Amino acid sequence: MTNKNVRLLVALGLLVSAPGISFAGAGHDHAMPATTESKEGAQGEDVHSHDRNSQEFLVDLKKAVAAATIAIDSGMLDRLHDITEDITHAASHVAEKAPAQSKTRVTGAAKNIESLANMLHKQADAGDVAKVQSTLKKLQAMVVVLESQLK
């Protein structure tokens, strides 16, 4: 087994075990309203619970970006719809729960992440692989910026 195949298998294993990551089913429709159902993680906890801190939401954000990376690397752009929703949800809560001394900077970075996630979603819907890959790199960099602002 090649090194690339091993990395893909490990990444897919992480994706499957990541709580809060969901993919659209075959009947997915963009015209459908967003669901208000709770998503449950591996231990049954509600991963959309709002009683967590900014660091816990940052973990959710990083898992969602990792899931987006795997989906893009695997050529499964159709899976980005729900993943980008998870990214925007986590980013908004990181900003909401940020410490007072860094709230302004974190909120700015979170809004940039939300904008990039929305752009990624639209580009994936259009099937523009080159733009999707470019936007993913920007998104990954912005998550690093956001994380540094929380410290």
pLDDT digits (tens, 9 = 90+) for 47-63: 556 678 899 999 999 99
Per-residue pLDDT reduced to its tens digit, 91-118? 999 999 999 999 999 999 999 999 999 9
Residue 35 lies in a domain: no
Read off the pLDDT of each residue in 130-144 and give the average, rounded to a whole number. Answer: 97
For residue 44, tell me if it sits in a domain: no
- Pick the most confident of 19-28, 37-46, 77-86: 77-86
**Domain encompassing residue 15:** 3-20+50-150
pTM across the whole model: 0.69
The answer as to whether 27 is a domain residue is no
Query: Is 133 domain-assigned?
Result: yes
CA dist 147 and 113 (Å) reads 12
Nearest to 91 by CA among 125, 63, 57, 115: 57
Q: Is residue 129 part of a domain?
A: yes
**CATH code at position 121:** 1.20.120
Query: Nearest CA to 76 among 39, 28, 116, 40?
Result: 28
**Number of folded domains that form the chain:** 1
Would residue 100 count as lying in a domain? yes
* 54, 33, 85, 125 alpha-carbon torsion, rounded to 10°: -170
